Structure 1
Amino acid sequence: MDPRPALVAAPRAAAAAPGRPVNVLLFAVAGAVTVANLYFPQPLLAAVARGLDTSERTAGAVASAAQVGYALGILLLVPLADTARLRRLTSVLLALTSVALLVAAAAPDVVTLALATLALSTTTVLPQILTPVAAVLAGPEHRGRVVSLVGLGLTLGSTLSRTVSGAITDAGGSWRAAYVVAALATAALLWVLPRRLPERLAESGDANERRSYARTLAGLPRLLAAHRALRVSALLGACVFAAFNVFWAVLAFHLASPALGYGPGVAGLFGVLSLPAALLSATAGPLADRFGPRAMNATGLAVAGLGLGVAASLPYSLVALVTGANLLLLGVSTSQVANQARIFAIGRDVAARVNTVFMLSTFGGGAAGSLVGSWLYTAHGWSAALLLAGAFVAAAGLVVAVAARPAVPSCVPDATGEAGG
């Protein structure tokens, strides 16, 4: 069987979407457009502060609102993908996000803008719904490949959105223009995306729909207790993303230090300069399909550790810092793909919920890494911060080593009422 069509359309999944192939390109583009809503405002905060006559520190609340809203959306909305009608859920989320973006564009003050940002970031969780949908429809033979291609769209969307929003603001003369363009791009997906999705993700759709919303959320801890694969991936995701966020949280401070003396423009360029690693990360999926998640986790951790080592050994070389950033991004992306390939093998009926648990753990680790890394850099400098990042990578390596031991069968029932392992 020729695997090449999976790059555009993965095999058909009769139970979830009879006669419908997975349009990976559409999923990747939709993920890029929606995840961009979280990141495009970041370079606009100074313009927002001037336009709304407030301090830059106060305008920074907009960026914080985006992260809080996204975490809330992952917890409260993503699990619905296992039980709801996907086309309806997707249409509602896209419509609400588009409206919230327009409200943000017309915001008369920073409070309104922050509240609109909180709302739009809560409903723009479509990337975390599309990823498990694509993985389920692709089937086990192409799961890693499809997850990595959709993930590539998310990486490009989050990276390039900052550059695009800055260019739109310069061309339009106002930060509001970027919000209007984002609203139009998000609304355009309403005409294309829902009709290309299956009606339901789970095979037992009618039974799942009768499950109460409260019961769906209450079942999340049981999933973690029932499935060793989910516990392993959640721990790895937290450790790896903590290391990643330590590096990026302190990079701008390090570049601005007297020894380097670079401004925020150079720090912003690191996102674009990391594109080679983002593009190369698409190879992680096919390799995970071939060699398995464990091998790719080990590879990703080795690459991430190498990147931190390069950045730590030559702290005042821009070439070394860019090289380290690329290696770290490649390693983290490889590990992320491997972890998601592992959890999506648990079962299609719980695909969205296991992704919820995984992403909450990952973001929790990232938040801890940012907080502790920033404090450590302030107190002890660049080397100490990167040593902390290296410790997180080492902890992830320990998890991989322990997980290599044979699993003890679990008798804890999962959210579907069956024992997991």
Structure 2
Amino acid sequence: MEPSLRSSPGPARPVNVLLFAVAGAVTVANIYFPQPLLAAVAHGLDVSERTAGLIASAAQIGYALGILLLVPLADTARLRRLTSLLLALTSGALLVAAAAPDVLTLTLATLALSTTTVLPQILTPVAAVLAGPGRRGRVVGLVGLGLTLGSTLSRTVSGAVTDASGSWRVAYLVAAVATATLLCVLPRRLPERLGPPGRTSYAKLLAGLPRLLTAHRALRVAALLGACVFAAFSVFWAVLAFHLAAPALGYGPGAAGLFGVLTLPAALLSATAGPLTDRYGAPAVSAAGLALAGLGLGVAGLAPYSPAALVAGANLLVIGVSSCQVANQARVFGIDQAVAARVNTVFMLATFGGGALGTFAGSWLYAAYGWPAALFAAGAFVAVGALVVVRSARPAAPSCVPDVTREAGGVRPRTPQGES
């Protein structure tokens, strides 16, 4: 039996990093590939487009639930067994979705498959722990690149498969086959455990999440910064389709989808954030990412009816937000490998919360005041993120917080508060 990561935290093998990136891309695609199919689903199941939109909502809700309820298990459970179970459940739910006779069944199947397809948020901390401090940023960046490509290209692939086959159900079948294929490859390439065998109950694992946030300044900084940048990102993308469809531009719904492809250069370039984080540290890369995001919003705001400016602004925003994401995850994974999955849970929940706030604020402001107001809100979120970076650069005051890492089911960090 292969030893746990706790006992052998050697450098990550390149083949493992590549496999983790591909596995992350395939599994995160299950959240996003149904989005272009909603009109076809509405027509096929004879429901309104608004009703079909419940499927997209179910995917986001399920993913958040999975991050909260399942990802913490990776700190103590057997990784191979946990991964195999999640992949099997996701594949089965995709098959149910492909055969769904009505929209209720499809929505429930989507909720189930999105809850169990949280493997990307398990693989990322595993890869970071394997990499060790010297290569943590690089590895997180490569796995993150896989997630970005999976979420972006999955929409294009599912639309093409549906157009070629004439049925949205075929896209679900293709996703089920791709996910099941991972079941034959991925588990055997994982270590047995991420940490020591679990002696902490499941209830204590979840109850310890807030205490980790209280105990570790690095986690608080990363969570707040992640919420800010993803809020700005979500404002932009939540209102872009409406802005493109407005009379001044008059583009159809396909234009917003095309922006996903047009921002691939930024997604690929964001992989450099990992090595830069290893070399210069998370605070410096986060600051640069915020500057790029702010610049992108400025370009999109100064030339709101120029397609070239909007594409340029979107690319700057994508690379800025992605760089912040990579830097922040590298920061939190330096806290303590025994709680790596749980600190990632806290970080991702904060990030999703910021995204939800940004989507709501952007949609409301755009409907009431238009494109400039929405971009102003996005810029405000970036400004708050900049304040977080500036404040976090100050030396931390001596902590009077008790050692709750052990209470949360982990061990005491080797470095003060796990700062990086």
Q: 1:286 offset after TM fit, Å?
A: 0.2
**Which residue does 1:298 correspond to in 2?**
287
Equivalent of 2:13 in 4, 16, 21: 21
Do the aligned partners of 1:13 and 1:20 also contact (CA within 8 Å) in 2? no
Correspondence for 1:146 among 132, 136, 139:
139
In the alignment, does 2:260 pair up with 1:271? yes
Could you tell me which amino acid in structure 2 is paired with residue 78 of structure 1? V
Q: Is residue 413 from structure 1 mapped to residue 406 from structure 2 by the alignment?
A: no
**Does residue 255 of the first structure (1) align with residue 235 of the second (2)?**
no
Work out the percentage of aligned pairs sharing the same amino acid.
77
Correspondence list, 1:47-62, <5 A: 47-62=40-55
Partner of 2:109: 116
Q: Is the 8 A contact 1:20 1:196 kept in 2?
A: no
Normalised to the residue count of structure 2, the TM-score between the two structures is 0.95
**Kept in 1: contact 2:6–2:338 (CA 8 A):** no
Q: Which residue of 1 aligns with 2:193?
A: 200
The alpha carbon displacement at 1:173 in A equals 1.3
Q: Which residue of 2 aligns with 1:219?
A: 208
Q: Could you tell me which residue of structure 2 aligns to residue 386 of structure 1?
A: 375
SS at match of 2:404: coil
The correspondence for 2:92, drawn from 99, 110, 122, is 99
Which SS does the other structure have where 2:405 is aligned?
A: coil
- Tell me how far 1:234 sits from its aligned partner: 0.2
- Please say if residues 96 and 123 of structure 1, whose CA atoms lie closer than 8 Å, have aligned partners that are also in contact: yes
Q: Deviations over 1:293-341 (max 9, x none)?
A: 0000100000000000000000000000000000000000000011001
Q: 1:413 to 1:50 in 2, by over 3 A?
A: same
Match of 1:176 in 2: 169
Of 326, 332, 350 in structure 1, the residue corresponding to residue 315 of structure 2 is 326
Alpha-carbon separation, structure 2, partners of 1:101 and 1:57: 22
- Out of 78, 81, 88, the residue aligned to residue 85 of structure 1 is 78
Q: Which residue of 1 aligns with 2:306?
A: 317
Judge conservation of contact 2:141–2:326 (CA < 8 Å) in 1: yes
How far, CA to CA, are the matches of 1:166 and 1:295 in structure 2? 39
Measured after TM superposition, the shift of residue 13 of structure 1 is 5.9
Partner of 1:8: none
Deviation at 1:358, TM superposition (A): 0.2
Partner residue, 2:221: 232
Cα distance, 1:409 vs structure 2: 2.9
Q: Does 1:133 align with 2:126?
A: yes
Q: CA RMSD in A?
A: 1.4
d(CA) in 2 for partners of 1:213 and 1:118? 22
Aligned mate of 2:271, from 264, 269, 282:
282
CA distance in 2, matches of 1:53, 1:283: 46
The corresponding residue for 1:39 is: 32
What's the CA shift string for 1:188-213, capped at 9, x where partnerless?
A: 001110011110001xx12xx12100
CA distance in 2, matches of 1:412, 1:116: 43
Report if aligned partners of 1:13, 1:21 keep a CA contact under 8 Å in 2: no
Superposition deviation, residue 413 in structure 1 = 1.9
Change in 2 beyond 3 A, CA 1:272/1:20: closer
Unpaired segments ≥5 residues, structure 1:
1-11
TM-score of the pair, normalised by structure 1: 0.95
SS of equivalent to 1:415: helix
In 1: Cα distance, 2:121 partner to 2:193 partner: 16
> How far does the alpha carbon of each residue in 1:159-179 deviate from its partner, in whole angstroms, 9 at most, with x for none?
000000011111111000000
> What is residue 334 of structure 2 aligned with on the other side?
345
Q: Secondary structure at the match of 1:210?
A: coil
